[in-house]
Chain A
Amino acid sequence: MANTGWDEFEIGAMLRTFDGKIDDIAGTLQEDRAYSPNSSFVASVADWRIEKPIFAKDFCIDCQFCWIYCPDMSIIARDKKMIGIDMDHCKGCGICVEVCPTNPKSLLMFDEHSDEETELAQWPAKEEKK
């Protein structure tokens, strides 16, 4: 790809998500789709991120707010259950944390280099209402 000449690609500022024809894409999970190398799904933009969200499953009530609000479709949900974050595409915007309604929050932002297990071990306690 890197050495493709000016006359070797399709015209137009256009990229194909899949090589060739696809069927029933709505019924196929992302991880099972044969994305082409041109699809942004296979490109990691993790290095855009300065802070990252960490997900504490124990407090999650599967309300799906984070899944709805995530501007980059980086909340991975299956069967209406939140199962994790797509760290290849998350830009660290923090919207999921902002909209998380649980107490304590099930998602919090941390420095990109912080250790997930360490942070989960010292997750904040429930805030008492005053």
Chain B
Amino acid sequence: MAFDKMELKDIEVWDGNFAAAQALRQCQIDVVAAYPITPSTPIVEGYSKFLADGYVEGEFVMVESEHAAMSGCIGASAAGGRVATATSSQGFALMVETLYQASGMRLPIILNVVNRALAAPLNVNGDHSDMYLGRDSGWIQFDAYCPQDAYDLNFIAFKVAEDHDVRLPAMIHQDGFMTSHTAQGVHTLTDDQGYGFIGDFKPMNDMLDFEHPVTHGVQTEEDWHFEHKARQHNDLMTKVFPKIQAAFDDFEKLSGRKYNLVESYDMDDADVCVVCLGTSVETAREVATEMREKGIKAGVVGIRVIRPFPFMEIAEALKGVKAIAALDRSSPNGAPGMLFNELAGALYNTADRAMLSGYVYGLGGRDLTKKHLVDLYTELQANVDAGKVTTQLQQFIGVRGPKLSFL
């Protein structure tokens, strides 16, 4: 192929955006159609620079909006290329209409979502509002907690999404600024290792196969729509997890780094635990260790794959825990949080149905401090000691003014 390879050190100091851009280079993306938006811009900017410098053989398509960006990706993917892009927040919201097209058309597009709050009020900082907005769109959703994860999960996402038994698009989420703009040591793969892990793109029903003409994006009404949606849901529920697990296993063999559908930390004998996403997982792990020094058996569960939701796996991970906190970094706007609801669903039919309380935190980039988590674990332990949830079921953390809680 007509491109140069890049010599990388074993450990490079990269932020999450550059780690993702390097992964896209090593995966040799054929087409990136993108529109810039903070904080995800450096990902596609990085790809376009690698392309201009001769490190990728591909096409960068500049478009007039995120709706057009994903539409361009859909066209390129249907044509038969390896396709990726990146976005955040308002751009993600503008993409939503096309996200459902991409997944319904079973196109293995990879979307790096650098999580950011949704306006109004306008805000460029990290929370999970955009991530939550995509959760019913039929995409696979991976969650990175740090730049290393953002790098690794791109390779895993391509391997899973492009599998002919899966053929579903996938998002890799990383927290705006906290991951995307925080440089850390990232263990690298060589170009050959990275590309070798995902292999050459294998087209399926591609429009550029002129000997087998296909029409993509057809219309179906009440006679067929339900069957297509049922098939897509079936494949998300039954086919995706085995492929993700296989990809995790292969990746561990290649890199030594192990990923799980549900990441459990200090959970073997935990009485109290926090379930969360993104960078908060790492903060919570640190606090859990400190709580154990104070005699509170604290643990952390991080969800690595948000969609499909690891319903059984999370119930298993939470077995034996007495009090659980679900941390949602998105305003539920009139309901319990998404994680609270999903956990309630996963735990309701279990024998030791643990005490579950929900916390809303970190909106618009508000910090989740260690002090917040110390208080939270202390509250969970108080629930255990009292044998019931002693607070209201939904509390806000870190918001100014009188204490805010509901339910």
Contact = CB atoms under 8 A, between A and B. Distances in A.
Contact of A15 (B215, B223, B227, B231): B215
Given A6-B234, A7-B234, A14 B214 contact: yes
Contacts of A14: 105-106, 205, 214-216, 218
Interface in A1-42: 2, 4-7, 9-18, 20-23, 25, 40
B227 A6 contact: yes
B212 A13 contact: no
A7 B235 CA distance: 10
A11 B106 contact: yes
B234 A16 contact: no
A37 to B, nearest CB: 13
B387 interface: no
A16 B212 contact: yes
B218 A13 contact: yes
Contacts of B230: 6
Say whether chain A's binding surface is mostly helix, strand, loop, or mixed: loop
Interface residues of B, number: 25
B228 interface: yes
Contacts of A10: 205
Contacts of A9: 227, 231
A23 B213 CA distance: 11
Contact of A16 (B213, B220, B223, B235): B213
Contacts of B212: 16, 18, 20-22
B211 interface: yes
Contacts of A7: 231, 234
Contact of B214 (A5, A15, A20): A15
A17 B227 contact: no
Interface in B179-234: 205, 210-218, 220, 223, 226-228, 230-232, 234
B64 to A, nearest CB: 25
Contacts of A15: 214-215, 218
A14 B215 CA distance: 5
Nearest to B207: A14
A35 to B, nearest CB: 10
Nearest to B232: A11
Contacts of B210: 25
A81 B213 CA distance: 28
Given A6-B230, A6-B231, A18-B213, A13 B105 contact: yes
B147 interface: no
Contact of A17 (B214, B226, B231, B232): B214
Contacts of B232: 11
Contacts of A22: 211-213
Contact of A12 (B106, B223, B226): B106
7 contacts: A6-B228, A7-B234, A12-B104, A13-B217, A15-B218, A16-B213, A18-B213
Interface of B: 104-107, 167, 205, 210-218, 220, 223, 226-228, 230-232, 234-235
Given A16-B213, A17-B214, 11 more contacts: A6-B227, A6-B231, A9-B227, A10-B205, A12-B107, A13-B216, A14-B105, A15-B215, A17-B213, A23-B211, A25-B213
**Pairs of residues from A and B, 9 with the lowest C-beta to C-beta distance, nearest first:** A12-B106, A6-B227, A17-B213, A6-B230, A11-B106, A15-B215, A21-B211, A6-B231, A13-B218
